[in-house]
Structure 1
Amino acid sequence: MLEPAAVASRRACMVSSEKIATELSRAFLGFRLTRVVLAFRVLHGGQLPPWLGSAWRGMLGHGLKSAVCTTGLDDCRPCPLIDDCPYPVLFEARVPLNAPMLGSNTKAPGPYTLLASPGGRVASDDELTLRLTLFGEHGRDAALLARVFALGADSGLGERRLGLTLQRLAEVDLDGGERELGLAQLHQAPPSLAPLAALPPCPPSLAIHLLTPLRLRVRNRYVGPDCLCFGDFLSHLLRRCSLLLQFYQQTPVELPFRELVDLAHKLQFSHTELRWEDMARHSSRQERVVPMGGLVGTMYLEDERLQALWPLLWLGQWTQLGKGVSMGLGEYRLEAA
């Protein structure tokens, strides 16, 4: 039987957790995102890189600039139209004028994420899918980016320019359900979604499944399988979601950030099953192969204080986390353990 002091301490902890969870839910309740999936038919079989995130992002960069640039400048910085052009904000995550920022931040997180089906050897008539998630006000750009990908597919994907054609477009709900849109509806923006509008109860124990490599940089080093702690995971997620809300919905985030981070560092994974998965991409700008490996596997948590941070963990399933989210990295899913 617990001593009275221990009972009182536990009750105070539960009250504090409920208070923090309420503050997090209130802060991020209006967080909105838009999701679409594009399905492409392979016209002629061939070999693609095993990981296609970088190839799709490259297609987006070239296609978007061709579609919207009217000056032809290689460098956007001296362009007189830079504040009115969608390319710098969408692709380079340029900070808009007078945008609210956290601390000394000088660059916004990208307003979208991509998640592609695997590459490798493909045959004629195979299907490749690309899921696009846009944050806040940039949900209106879903139609523009879908058109860019449709046109880019005609020129081919990857270094070998494998020919594709867009055959299906659908809006995607929070559970992954799809509602097909006609290709003629590319000019229409799908409805936005609010992940915290129907927040389920926090389970007593939790499994966090890293589905695509997580590249988390802590103290100037990428975290390895034996070094990832829950505090670092949560603090990076808090920063990312706060910046997305501030930059793309112009909504100030007023939270006890220090208290939240301190609490997160008090929680520890009960155990982890993580490994490092090597990946790489070729950078035309840097003219070299760039490592893009990260952590995959599962982390387990069992702590009653988890309830306090549950709304943020739930939201992060749709924002992704870490470096390379614009190429499909950092996706995770939660499951009651």
Structure 2
Amino acid sequence: MKYGKYLFHIKLTRDAVLPAYKGSTFRGLLGHALKRTVCALKNQTCTTCILRQNCTYSLIFETAHALPAPENGKISAPPHPMILEPPLTEKRDFAAGETLICGMVLFGDLNRHLPYFVYAFDQMGRIGLGKRLNGNRAGFTLESVTFGDKTVYSKKDGRVTIPDVLPTLNLTPDQNKIPDHVTLKLQTPFRISTKTGQKPDLPFDLLMRSLIRRCTALFNTYGDGEPALNYPELVKKACRVRLTDNRLAWFDWQRYSSRQETKMYMGGLLGQVAYQGDLGPFLPFLRMAETVHAGKNTAFGLGQISLKAQA
């Protein structure tokens, strides 16, 4: 499955007050700017628009209506083809002139839509983000967009270069020495249950069930189809892997949904957790999770994971 990870480098033109977790702020503003940029039939909803299967906004924010679910019926709805990775700092007060970096991961053919995202970020800067100060939100300028060590957009020349070659994700077993101990750091809230205040615990089999579902859905929708996996056997082996160190805590977070006109609670687990056992069959999933995230609401940047393997 092909993917592209892009970093959007922005410079604030006004002082800004942003929330501790910035995923909802950036995603909400992106949706507003992108719809204003690409929507051709202003009087139509995405569910009835005849352009929805080719519309950048619809593919990202109305994925279930833009893309049909795979015919095998193993997933109820296609996963979102984009992940936003907002700045991880919990800092809230920023001064004009400071820079921030917002990451974006795009899957499959959506990488061809990169110019629309670049233009949308430019418009986001004109609209402004964060809390109003003296009646105005914080504006910013999009200075550049990078893809690995390459600059695919800069404010100086105003041109977007779509990468010719994209990296790929796969579930190929690791041929190197297999570690029997891994440590995962949950960098952004990891959501499986929607219940707030749940016990801060993450058994390995629960983690792997979530990861297997997510990876399978992504390959089904944006890759080469259903991966050849023995699901019952994987779950059995996952149940034998022990949780050896649990430093997780519950993080309460809520966002306001303008579409549903209500506050939505989206808390999740944060911190560090370690496992020990026969990890060979699961390393491809754990490594893939570093790119595709895990759990629910990954489009907001939730479920961002870093992996450390030890022999």
TM-score by length of structure 2 reads: 0.87
Task: Provide, for residues 221-275 of structure 1, a one-character-per-residue CA deviation record: whole Å limited to 9, x for no partner.
Answer: 4683444211111111111111111111242323212221222122221221111
| Distance change in 2, residues 1:102/1:317 (3 Å) | farther
Match status 1:67 vs 2:33: no
| Distance change in 2, residues 1:42/1:157 (3 Å) | same
State the distance in 2 between where 1:208 and 1:227 align: 13
* Structure with higher strand content: 2
| Distance change in 2, residues 1:87/1:80 (3 Å) | same
Assess if the C-alpha contact under 8 Å between 2:129 and 2:138 holds in 1: yes
For 1:278, the equivalent position in structure 2 comes to 252
Alignment of 1:181-260 (within 5 A): 181-183=152-154, 184-189=158-163, 191-196=165-170, 201-217=177-193, 221=195, 224-260=198-234
Alignment of 1:1-337 (within 5 A): 31-73=1-43, 75-94=45-64, 99-101=69-71, 103=73, 105-117=75-87, 118=89, 120-160=92-132, 161-172=137-148, 178-183=149-154, 184-189=158-163, 191-196=165-170, 201-217=177-193, 221=195, 224-303=198-277, 305-337=278-310
Task: Provide, for residues 163-209 of structure 1, a one-character-per-residue CA deviation record: whole Å limited to 9, x for no partner.
Answer: 1111121113xxxxx33334233252463112458956432211011
- Say how many residue pairs are matched: 299
State the distance in 2 between where 1:241 and 1:95 align: 21
* Structure with higher helix content: 1
Assess if the C-alpha contact under 8 Å between 1:317 and 1:334 holds in 2: yes
Shift in Å, 1:325: 1.0
For 1:175, the equivalent position in structure 2 comes to none
What value does the CA root-mean-square deviation take over the aligned residues?
2.3
- Structure label with greater radius of gyration: 1
What letter corresponds to residue 216 of structure 1 in structure 2? I
State the distance in 2 between where 1:273 and 1:267 align: 17
1:275 match: secondary structure: strand
State the distance in 2 between where 1:240 and 1:221 align: 20
State the distance in 2 between where 1:132 and 1:201 align: 32
Task: Provide, for residues 39-76 of structure 1, a one-character-per-residue CA deviation record: whole Å limited to 9, x for no partner.
Answer: 11010113222222111111221122122211113521
Assess if the C-alpha contact under 8 Å between 1:57 and 1:327 holds in 2: yes
Identity of aligned residues (%): 28
Shift in Å, 1:286: 2.5
| Distance change in 2, residues 1:44/1:97 (3 Å) | closer
Task: Provide, for residues 139-174 of structure 1, a one-character-per-residue CA deviation record: whole Å limited to 9, x for no partner.
Answer: 2222321221122211111352211111121113xx
Shift in Å, 1:293: 1.6
Structure 2: where are the runs of 5+ without partners?
none
2:288 match: secondary structure: helix
2:183 match: secondary structure: strand
What letter corresponds to residue 51 of structure 1 in structure 2? Y
2:186 match: secondary structure: strand
